[in-house]
Structure 1
């Protein structure tokens, strides 16, 4: 048996990067800062990849600084560096579930955002 489940709660590091494909698919990429237990430790940063309806929700209602919760799986993107030819990889969280968290005031800052719900 294998398990690959990641659950994170943190703040979005920048505006969503959204791509619409001719096939009708939607992909959204975000960065997420997750604080450590000790306040003087720097946050851990994660790259998130979101697809489909959930990506559309993220594109419309998630902004820099938004508090969100995500559940997904860890994957590694692989590529070859154009300049050096070296093989590179980057860990990415493929998001299956997105929760919009935070206060009502946080949600109102994003014009017309829905109440905190699972998407």
Structure 2
């Protein structure tokens, strides 16, 4: 049995970057800053999020920089060739569930409180 499950609560590091494809698919990329409760520094951990489909549309419409979010997803490692021609990798969380946790001042009052893909 294998388990690949990530649960995080943090704040959006910027406004969502959304791409619409001719196939009808929607992709939203977003960063999430998560504070460690035991950390002695004020530096958060940063996570790259990849959100697809209707959940991506919810993120595009209601998430703004600083929004408090809860996410559940799976961890994947993306590999790519960097500017220097070297192969690099970065962890990315593919979000399956997005919860908008902020107050009504943080998000639109008509926003969906949580959304599953």
User: Normalised by the size of structure 1, how large is the TM-score?
Assistant: 0.89
In the alignment, does 2:25 pair up with 1:25? yes
SS class of match (1:118): strand
8 A contact 2:14–2:31 mirrored in 1: yes
8 A contact 2:13–2:31 mirrored in 1: yes
8 A contact 1:61–1:113 mirrored in 2: no
In the alignment, does 2:114 pair up with 1:117? yes
Gaps of 5+ in 1: none
* Number of aligned residues: 115
Aligned to 1:52: 53
Gaps of 5+ in 2: none
> 1:33 & 1:4 partners in 2: Cα distance?
20
Task: Give the ranges of 4+ consecutive aligned residues of structure 1 lying more than 4 Å apart after TM superposition.
Answer: none
- How far the C-alpha of 1:21 sits from its partner, in A, is 0.3
| Superposition CA RMSD, Å | 1.5
SS class of match (2:37): coil
- How far the C-alpha of 1:117 sits from its partner, in A, is 2.7
- How far the C-alpha of 1:84 sits from its partner, in A, is 2.2
Question: Per residue, is there more helix in 1 or in 2?
Answer: 1
Alignment of 1:33-112 (within 5 A): 33-38=33-38, 40-41=40-41, 42-81=43-82, 83-108=83-108
- How far the C-alpha of 1:115 sits from its partner, in A, is 4.8
